[in-house]
Amino acid sequence: MGGGRSWRWSTWVGVGLLTWGLVACDDASKDAPGGDAEVTPPVDVPEAEVVEVADLVEETGELPPDAADLSETTELSEVADAADADAAEAVDVPPDPPCAAGGHFVEAIYGQVVDGAGQPVAGARAQPCLRREDGTLLCLRPEPTGADGAVAITYEGFCITELTLRVLLPNSSMSTAYCTVPLPSSGRQVQLAAPVVLHATEAPLSLPPLGDGAQARQVDFAGGFSLSLVPDQLDSDVAAYEDLAARRLDVAAAQLCTLPAGAPLAAIAFYPEADLLAPAQVTLRLNNPWGLAPAEQVSLHVLGGLHCTDAAGEVLHEGRWVPLGPATVAADGAAILYEGHLPCLTWLAITE
C-alpha cells in the first residue's frame, strides 16, 4: 500500500510541475520583447480551398511567391521577367505612321554598287532623293559605300511616294547612275533588287583647245560618235571642259536601272555629270552599225538628274528618261544625226 501511495504522489507532483512549467513559459513569452504581439489563432481551411503547389504550377506555369522551394520560384521569376522585357521591347516599337494613298514609310536603304565588270566599288557616294507626299523633293546627304560596295543608309523615316538613288564616284571619270527604286508594299526598309553599276568613261580621241569658250567645237570620242558643243555652256560649278569624257555602250552592257520607251539601240554615258546652260544647242553624230536606211528616224532620250534643266529652265525629273526628239540617218546612211537642245550630260539613249 505504501508503495502505491508513493507512485500516485509522484505522478501528481510531476503533472503539477509540468503544468507550472508551461504556465511559466507562457508568462515569460509575454514579458519578452515583442511578446505582447497578438497571436493569430489557426484558421480552418475548407478542403475545397486547399490547392497543391504542383496543381498551381500546372495551371499557371509558375510557382506562388511563398512556395517552399525558393530557388525554383526565382528561376521562374527570372524567366517571367525576361519575357516581360521582350514584350515591353516589342510594344515600344512604334507603328508606321499612316501614309496617304500611294505613300510608303521608309527609313533604311540597302544595296550594292559595282563596276562594269561586276567588282565592288568602294567609296562611291550613294544619295537617296526622296519625293514627299506633298510633291517636294528631298535629297539626303550622300553616304559612302563600304569596301564590299555595300550601300547602307538609315535616316529618320517619313512617308514618300518615290525613291531615286543617285550614285557616283568622285574624281574617278566613272559615270553617275540614277536608279528609280520600287517601294516596298510593307516594311520600313528598301533592298535594291540588283547592284547599281558605274561605268568607266574614256577621254576624248580629240579635244580642241578651249580658246574662245563661246565658240562651238567638235569633240570626238571612241565608239564612233562626236559631240559639238559650246564650252561656256557647261555649268562650270560642276564640270570643266578639260574633264569631258564619255563611253558608248550597248544597252545590255550598260545594265541600266531603267530603260527609255522603245527598243533601245545604244546608250552613252558622260563624265562629269553636268547641266548645259540654256539655250544649249548641240550636234550629236553617231555611226550607224545597225544598217538603218537613209532618212530613217530614231528617238533620242536624256536621263534626268539633279543638274539637268530644259530650255525653259525647268529641272527634269531625276532618274527618268526624257525624249529629246528624232535623230535622222544621213543621206549616205553612214551616220545618225541629232541637232537640237541638250539639257545636260548624264546619259543618252537611242531607241527605234
Residue 333 burial by Cβ neighbours in a 10 Å radius (0-12, 13-18, 19+): middle
Domain match, 170 and 296 both: no
Q: Tell me whether residue 134 is in a domain.
A: yes
> Do 171 and 226 have their domain in common?
no
Question: In the prediction, which pLDDT does 306 show?
Answer: 87
d(CA 102, CA 320): 19
245: Cα separation from own chain's centroid: 32
| Residues 232 and 177 reside in one and the same domain | no
Residue 52 resides in a domain: no
pLDDT, average across residues 152-181: 95
- Give the residue among 94, 53, 66, 60 at the shortest CA–CA distance from 80: 60
Q: Which of 302, 294, 315 is nearest to 270 (CA)?
A: 302
Question: Tens of pLDDT along 63-114?
Answer: 444 444 434 444 444 544 555 555 545 545 566 678 988 899 999 999 999 9
User: Are 145 and 227 contained in the same domain?
Assistant: no
297 and 175 within one domain: no
* Residue reference for cell 569631258: 244
Based on the number of CB atoms within 10 Å of its own CB, is 207 exposed (0-12), middle (13-18) or buried (19 or more)? middle
What percent of the chain has pLDDT above 70? 73
Q: Are residues 139 and 240 in the same domain?
A: no
**Pairing mode, if any, of strands 189-191 and 125-132?**
unpaired
CATH of the domain at 321: 2.60.220
Number of structural domains, the chain?
Answer: 2
> What number of CA atoms fall less than 13 Å from residue 279's CA on the CB side?
3
Please check whether residue 316 lies inside any domain of the structure. Answer: yes
Structural domain includes residue 84: no
Confidence at 262, pLDDT banded by 50, 70, 90 = confident
Is residue 15 situated within a structural domain? no
Which CATH number fits the domain that encloses residue 125? Answer: 2.60.40.1120
Residue 83 domain-assigned (yes or no): no
Cα 205 to chain center, whole Å? 41
**Predicted local distance difference test score (pLDDT) of residue 57:** 37
Q: 0.75 cut: is pTM over it?
A: no
The model's pLDDT over 34-63, given as tens digits with 9 standing for 90+, comes to: 444 444 444 444 444 444 434 433 444 444
286 is in which domain, residue-wise? Answer: 217-351
> 49 or 212: which carries more pLDDT confidence?
212
Q: What average pLDDT score do residues 301-313 get?
A: 88
Is residue 133 domain-shared with residue 221, that is, in the same domain? Answer: no
230 and 339 co-located in one domain: yes
Q: Give dist(CA 190, CA 105) in Å, integer.
A: 10
| Amino acid code (one letter) for 6 | S
pLDDT of 181 reads 94
- pLDDT of 243 reads 94
Examine residue 302 and state whether it is found in any structural domain, yes or no: yes
Report CA Rg, the chain: 43
Q: Are residues 222 and 302 in the same domain?
A: yes
Q: Are residues 248 and 290 in the same domain?
A: yes
Average pLDDT rounded to a whole number, residues 142-149 = 98
Give CA–CA dist 167/125, Å, rounded.
Answer: 6
Of 236 and 168, which is predicted with more confidence?
A: 168
Same domain, 228 and 309: yes
> What's the confidence (pLDDT) of residue 239?
86
**In-domain check, residue 284:** yes
* Judgement on whether residues 231 and 336 belong to the same structural domain of the protein: yes
User: Which are the contacts of 79, defined by CB distance < 8 A and separation ≥ 6?
Assistant: none
As a whole number of angstroms, the distance between CA 98 and CA 100 comes to 7
pLDDT single digits (tens) 124-138? 999 999 999 999 999
Average pLDDT for 315-329: 94
